[in-house]
Amino acid sequence: MKYLLDTCTLLWFFKGLDELSENARDIIENDKIRKYVSAASLWEFAISCSLGRFQVSIGFAKFRANIESNGFDILPISVPYLEQLIPLPFHHRDPFDRLLVATAQTEDMTIVTCDENIRKYDVRVVW
């Protein structure tokens, strides 16, 4: 099974926060499981940092380095993901989360997230 990590999931993992579920931590720390991060999450992180929304000391370069050092594959945003995005219902207005849903649907992935809005879509979610 392939797992797509939500932006908040990544942040909580990198910061070692208790908000991360035990199941999510087990998936992330299992070296035998392939984990992916969408370029949309890096984009969301960069925008949020520039707007002062994330109070994180790691900064963008460290965020990206943490993704790579943990062996997570970064998925570029591709045209098939954008095509899959078009028919999605607007259960959620967050464009980054909607792109994660479209990516997971296209790539047959499970999203690791606690976001209840993402669960409203036809996509596998674990937490």
Domain boundaries in the chain?
A: 2-119
Residue among 7, 8, 4, 24 at smallest CA distance from 81: 4
Residue count of the chain, please give it. 127
**Mean pLDDT of the residues in the chain:** 94
- Can you tell me whether residue 74 is helix, strand or coil? strand
**This prediction's pTM:** 0.94
Tens digits of residue pLDDT in 52-66: 776 666 788 889 999
How does residue 120 score in pLDDT terms, banded at 50, 70 and 90? Answer: very high
CA dihedral sign of residues 9, 14, 16, 22? positive
> What's the pLDDT at 58?
75
- At 13-22, the pLDDT tens digits run 998 889 999 9
Give the burial class of 57: count Cβ atoms within 10 A of its Cβ; 0-12 exposed, 13-18 middle, 19 or more buried. Answer: exposed
- Average pLDDT estimate for 41-60: 82
CATH code at 2-119: 3.40.50.1010
Whether 77 has a pLDDT exceeding 90, the answer reads yes
